[in-house]
Amino acid sequence: MGQTTSQREVHYQIMWNRLISVLEEQALTLVRTAFSTSVREAGDLSAGVFDREGRMVAQAVTGTPGHVNTMAAAVPHFINDIGPERIYPGDVYLTNDPWKGTGHLHDITVTTPVFVGEELIGFFASTAHVVDVGGRGYGPDANEVYEEGIRIPIMKWAERGDLNRDLVNILRNNVRESDQVVGDIHGLAASNETGRRRLLDMLEEFGLDDLDDLAEFIFDRTRTATLAALEAVPNGSYANTMQVDGYNDTITLAAELTVTDEGIHADFTGTSPLSRFGVNVPITYAQAYFTYGMLVALAPELPNNYASLFPFTVSAPPGVILNAQDPDPVSVRHVFGHFVTDLCMGAIAPALPHVIPAEGAGALWNFQASARAAEPDSQLPPVELLMFNSGGTGARPAIDGLTATAFPSGVMTMSAEATEQVGPIVIWRKEIRENSGGDGEYRGGLGQVIEIGPVDGYMFEFSAMFDRVDNPARGRAGGGDGAPGRVYLDDGTPFPTKGKKAVPADRRLILELPGGGGFGNPSDRDPAASENDRKQGYVS
């Protein structure tokens, strides 16, 4: 006797849940095998499964929008560039091409085909940020992508199970931290292999030959739910602009959103021209954070896959900072790319006044420190250090903002202990920054204060990539702005917020991270909440 429609739907839902478990195991394999602290401590990664056409069926919960949503667009590039006739069992492919991957060279995307017998049924893909790719290092100073590090076109890391040792050798000789970088790529391949094996076990258990029927079920349910969620925003056009610090010159980000029954389109005409420094954003990365913002605002419980991403499209004229073209420099594309979420959510705020939060700190306050011996004749080895830190999020329409929390990227702040363990650095202070959240009925999230310095015998060449120093997060609905960030040495000397500069061996660097904007009239704040802020030391 055949299954009823209801029974079949329950059966597919069970398989869908099981597929998510497979992907979580894939992602955790990457976390456990990663060499870089950005992966194992901060979760700066993505993992997903794709059908044979390269459409993302599901993603792991672990991961960042910038990685997941760009990876969703990357797998078709792998299929096209490798060629369907050259895809074999046992293959592994990789790239860090900014325009076919995640937007800059520091992210490696690895894709693995899945076969049942001789039949290709899909792919697993994963992405991770690696500590070094050569070139100038992780920072915005380059004027072309060629200066930013080694660029790996879509290639075979392995063919029919045989490792491409020539490619490994090229990579080892073009990066500063070869063991970490090559180790992380092996970790990416291992995570895909874990997913592949678990998927084959799952298919055998459920008596399936491929993913086709399950994928169509997932896409159908997701598409219906996504279009239903779009009904919350009336059809029409919505616009917003935002000013951010830029590299020496203030940058304007502009977006006009057009809402129809079929989706939302964002056009970035009016955004400032390209920078000659590496702060430019490939449009695929801007699209990733636009789409994320719309899904967060309209349907936060929806799964992320091909069908939920499809209704959200973008455009921009060539020559603006949100549409970088090859070979524009793009190393720290996250700085302005992360602001796209607040930019686009701000556009639809009039239609969703009880949903959209105030602006937050936005971009991570990442730093890359090249630790070098302070004395020329010293035998101390050079070390590359990377640390992610977050300011405060914007206050929400019914609750305070989150303190020292990454939004929209979602990466975790690295602990002081984990950072100190991998290199010659001391985190002297890491504490909540008093008075940094914007006033309002609901207070903006607080930033943090971090004081860092090298251990004896070392100095830092420090790549700064900070924003919200001259242009703080704006409050909403009468709320106050968040506190702007500050960067300086412990003797009070100002330090640049973008670009590479040495920190003397006898000095410490102090970062005061920005706070999020407040929401609502400050006079409407609950007195008990204000009193708690004072007791906790959030306000003076």
State pLDDT tens for residues 150-197. Answer: 999 999 999 999 999 999 999 999 999 999 999 999 999 999 999 999
The CA distance from 265 to 256, in Å, is: 8
pLDDT of residue 414: 82
State pLDDT tens for residues 471-482. Answer: 999 999 999 999
The CA distance from 33 to 31, in Å, is: 6
The CA distance from 361 to 408, in Å, is: 10
For the chain, the C-alpha Rg in angstroms (whole number) is 23
**For residue 23, what are its two tokens?**
């992907």
State pLDDT tens for residues 24-73. Answer: 999 999 999 998 888 888 888 899 999 999 999 999 988 889 999 999 99
The one-letter amino acid code at 427 reads I
Question: Of 319, 314, 533, 334, nearest to 437 (Cα)?
Answer: 533
pLDDT of residue 6: 78
pLDDT of residue 2: 58
- What confidence tier does 20 reach under pLDDT thresholds 50, 70, 90? very high
The CA distance from 424 to 167, in Å, is: 31
Ordered DSSP codes for 77-88: HHHHHH-GGG--
Q: What average pLDDT is seen over the chain?
A: 95
The CA distance from 362 to 434, in Å, is: 19
Based on the number of CB atoms within 10 Å of its own CB, is 236 exposed (0-12), middle (13-18) or buried (19 or more)? exposed
pLDDT of residue 1 exceeding 60, the answer is: no
pLDDT of residue 402: 98
Number of helical (H) and strand (E) elements in the chain, helices listed first: 12, 19
Beta bridge partners of 128: 45, 108
- What confidence tier does 7 reach under pLDDT thresholds 50, 70, 90? confident
pTM exceeding the 0.85 threshold for the entire prediction: yes
Ordered DSSP codes for 39-92: HHTT--EEEEEEETTS-EEEE-SSS-HHHHHHHHHHHHHHHHHH-GGG--TT-E
pLDDT of residue 412: 85
pLDDT of residue 329 exceeding 80, the answer is: yes
Is 65 in contact with 44 (CB distance < 8 Å)?
no
State pLDDT tens for residues 97-128. Answer: 999 999 999 999 999 999 999 999 999 999 99
Is 298 in contact with 229 (CB distance < 8 Å)?
yes
Torsion of Cα atoms, 202 then 207 then 210 then 214, to 10°: -80
Is 97 in contact with 168 (CB distance < 8 Å)?
no
The CA distance from 439 to 468, in Å, is: 17
The CA distance from 58 to 48, in Å, is: 6
The Cα angle at residue 402 between residues 398 and 407, in degrees rounded to 5? 105
Is 440 in contact with 478 (CB distance < 8 Å)?
yes
The CA distance from 292 to 289, in Å, is: 5
How many C-alpha atoms does 519 have within 13 Å on its Cβ side?
24
Conformational region of residue 453, where left means phi above 0, alpha means psi within -120 to 50, and beta covers everything else:
beta
* pLDDT, mean of residues 278-285: 98
Higher pLDDT, 488 or 63: 488
The CA distance from 376 to 379, in Å, is: 9
Question: Of 290, 333, 382, nearest to 142 (Cα)?
Answer: 333
